[in-house]
Chains A and B, each alone.
Chain A
Amino acid sequence: MKKMLTALTWIGLIMSSAIAMASDSAGVIKDPAESWKHLWMEVMIDLYIMGGIFGALAIYWLIKYRAKSPDAVGKGPKLTRSQRWAWAIVPCVLFLADDLYLGASGWSAWNVYRNVPENAMEVKVTGRMWNWEFEYEDGTTSSYDVDGDEGEKGDGLVVPVGTPVVLRMTSEDVVHSFGITEYRVKEDLMPGRITYIWFYPKKEAESWVTCTEFCGANHSRMYAPIKAVPAAKYQEWIAKRAKEEAEG
């Protein structure tokens, strides 16, 4: 009986992670932002259930067990040895199962985040106090600086819809971080290291890149627009940028 229970426990624990892992399917490009939203919903349901149980019990007990007289004392149970162990092990197994399930779901999502699709377009990102520079595969650059010369801030990061984009990032001075809420990605930029993230712009969108690692007085003004535009428009833009650069 004991052996069977142990075996069942292990099977349950392994299954819970296996279920989470099995929902992977091959072939299509998986989008980090979608994995993020899916996982977020799962975790939120988990939190509301757990919070609901503890919160409801606490409120119920706080009302039910109000002292009837000033001299009343509590009658909390004195647990026997086996009850003590049961009240430790059973919750631990439940929490462990939940942890492994969330851990496995989190790992699956993480794999999406770290496996860059082969056809991804590469952009080099350089952060410095306090502006961003982007270099495309053909050497064309774009930048954004809130305090740019004569109000010339720059175009920011422009990407074509339908192509995954991988960013190879580094910093020239201090630690910065490159975060895009729209695509649910973020990674630090450091001097002496190159880090990467990738995202998948599926539709036209305009949003913001923000520096999310504290970098000094203008930290909160170190942002840049990111525009996902139709492929044709992107080609037009990059040709214009290349021409501007050639003209100096």
Chain B
Amino acid sequence: MSKKSEKFNLSEWIFTTDHKRIGVMYLIGSIAAFSVAGVMAILIRIEQSSLGPTLAADAMTAGQQYNQWLYFHGAAMILAFLIPGLTGFAANYFLPLMIGAADVAFPRINALSVWLFWAGIIVALLGFVIPDAPDIMWTGYPPYSILTGGNTAFYVFTVHLLGFASILGAVNFLVTVIYMRAPGMGWNQLNMFVWSTVTAFVIQLVFVPVLAAAVTMLLFDKYLGTHFFDPSAGGDVLLYQNLFWFYSHPAVYVILLPALGILYEVVATFSKNRIFNYKAAVYGGMWGVVLISGEVWVHHLYVSGMPDWIRIGQMISTLLISLPVGLLAISLFGTLYKGAITFELPMKYAVSCLFLFLIGGLTGIPLAITALDLHLSDTSFIHAHFHYIMGIFATFSVFAAVYYWFPKMTGKMYNDKWGTIGFWLNFIGVNVTFMPLFKIGVDGMPRRYWNYEMFPQFETWHYIAMLGALLVASGMIITILNWIMSAMNGKKSVDNPWKSKSLEWTHTVNPPGPGNFLKDVKVADDWTPYDYGK
């Protein structure tokens, strides 16, 4: 609390090794990426809202700029907002507090991670202002990404920088959880968020190198004359797609798991309840997802001419994801059962996430089935599906996290009125935007199309989707302004406003100073972060 008198010192922030400041830097960087990528989303929706070129004079310009927006929106949202927002910001700030540690195991490596992340953000943003902006979608499939006049190198370097940040972060946090838990804290006493981060980082550690290899080969093919992906010289186009999705499907669980972890914390706190079937959710649910995550990538290649046996095999493994995810859903929904539920702002986001999770999760089932995907692949249906589960669900969970831990991070309370207005605009807006896309997707609206002159019947739906996007835009502006204003001028908060039982609330002040805890933390054998019943 003595921080108030200290003056803001930029170099102290830049050279800090304090996990909390690093977490805040991750948050600022990822929200910056989110805001720019959000502007792209609005441009995309406006372009599609009418049949012909809406924001350009001719078709060629419309196509080029639209593709650049799409590239930036996808790459920045996934690589620079969702993954760093969840595993960078949330894990950095709260994981050491939840396990009663003074910092992470390797604080300087942690600082290196956040610098690499910022470098990645800067390269990604530069990619948009250079004249040959990348236009290869976040997937970067060759041969197009090799033949294009766009600057594929910026894409590759963005992935490299953020990938290194992720790998270093993964090592750091796994070691931290294994060795730095407070005395007495057994594996079954960890917060759900801690477990979700552990499992997410295991996935990162195993799979990120594969993506790094794939994009490096892309770089060599384009700039150094190799032929990894060039069939005319003995290479193979599909090799890239396989490597890319071998990482990028597990990557959606790197987003899903910590997002669920946050929801568990919020739902348990605002239901004042224990986690329903904790062990099944952790060992069956989270670890089950880790186990299956590496055997399902071919569902992104159902229409890529892969051999039939693997398309069927991975249809089954993809469907089996419903087992661990089902256990997580039962546990998360079950935590409401016999709770004492209150609906503060973080809980509003969490409850909306339960419904986004249902819609996004269930619409994944038809996409898992190979035969159905032969029509649905690359239509707006798929685009709506992954926006529900990976985009909005995960984004709302980040928002739930920011509001939930806002008093912890700033020592102040957010403005509830503006926060609530922002919430409703966001929640209504996303549904107005993406529900129509399910409908026109099933009817055959292809993805990544600014032009749909052959399907004039879809124009009204696109127009509605644009209106929804404008609602979301206003909601987001209000939300982010609310954070900034409340962080500066908010009312002082009490130390544990939600009466949570978790260590980050019970054992330290708001915001925690260097070293986190005033005295060493010890927990009893029967302590859990959720024992409200006592």
Contacts and interface: CB of A to CB of B under 8 A. Distances in A.
Interface of A: 32, 35-36, 39-40, 43-44, 46-47, 50-51, 54-55, 57-58, 61-62, 65-68, 70, 72-79, 84, 87-88, 91-92, 95-96, 98-99, 102-103, 105-107, 109-110, 112-114, 173-175, 177, 179, 181, 184-188, 190-193, 195, 197, 208, 210-221, 223
B340 A65 contact: yes
Given A91-B326, A106-B371, A74 B232 contact: no
Contact of A43 (B316, B358, B365): B365
B277 A186 contact: no
B67 interface: yes
Contact of A74 (B231, B375, B532): B532
Interface of B: 59-60, 63-64, 67, 135-137, 139, 141-144, 147-148, 231-232, 236-238, 271-274, 276-277, 279-280, 284, 303-305, 308, 311-312, 315-316, 319-320, 322-323, 326-327, 329-330, 333-343, 351, 354-355, 358-359, 362-363, 365-366, 369-372, 374-375, 377-379, 443-444, 446-452, 454-455, 532-533
Contact of A186 (B272, B377, B443, B455): B377
B147 A174 contact: yes
Contacts of A217: 60, 63-64, 67, 135
Contact of B312 (A67, A107, A210): A107
A220 B354 contact: no
Nearest to B375: A184
B310 to A, nearest CB: 12
A208 B454 contact: yes
Given A67-B272, A184-B375, A217-B135, A88 B448 contact: no
Scoring A95, A99, A191, A220 by chain B CB atoms within 10 A of each residue's CB, the highest score goes to: A220
B280 to A, nearest CB: 4
21 contacts: A36-B372, A43-B366, A61-B341, A72-B272, A74-B532, A78-B533, A87-B330, A96-B320, A105-B369, A109-B372, A174-B143, A175-B144, A179-B375, A186-B375, A187-B374, A188-B305, A190-B305, A193-B238, A214-B136, A216-B63, A220-B446
Contacts of A197: 374
Scoring A47, A78, A173, A197 by chain B CB atoms within 10 A of each residue's CB, the highest score goes to: A47
A185 B375 CA distance: 5
B329 A113 contact: no
Contacts of B449: 210, 219-220
Contacts of B271: 65, 74, 76
A141 to B, nearest CB: 22
A213 B141 contact: yes
Contact of B144 (A91, A179, A186, A216): A216
A112 B141 CA distance: 30
Contacts of B277: 79, 84, 87-88
B336 A40 contact: no
A188 B139 CA distance: 15
Given A84-B280, A208-B455, A74 B338 contact: yes
A43 B351 CA distance: 26
A95 B358 CA distance: 15
Contacts of B143: 173-175, 191
Which 10 pairs, one residue from A and one from B, show the smallest C-beta to C-beta distance?
A192-B231, A181-B444, A74-B273, A109-B371, A220-B449, A72-B340, A195-B305, A74-B339, A106-B369, A67-B340
A85 to B, nearest CB: 8
Contacts of A208: 444, 454-455
A58 B333 contact: yes
A180 B342 CA distance: 50
Contacts of A221: 59, 63, 451
A224 B354 CA distance: 42
Nearest to A187: B303
Contacts of B323: 92, 95-96, 99
B452 A220 contact: yes
Contact of B63 (A65, A213, A218): A218
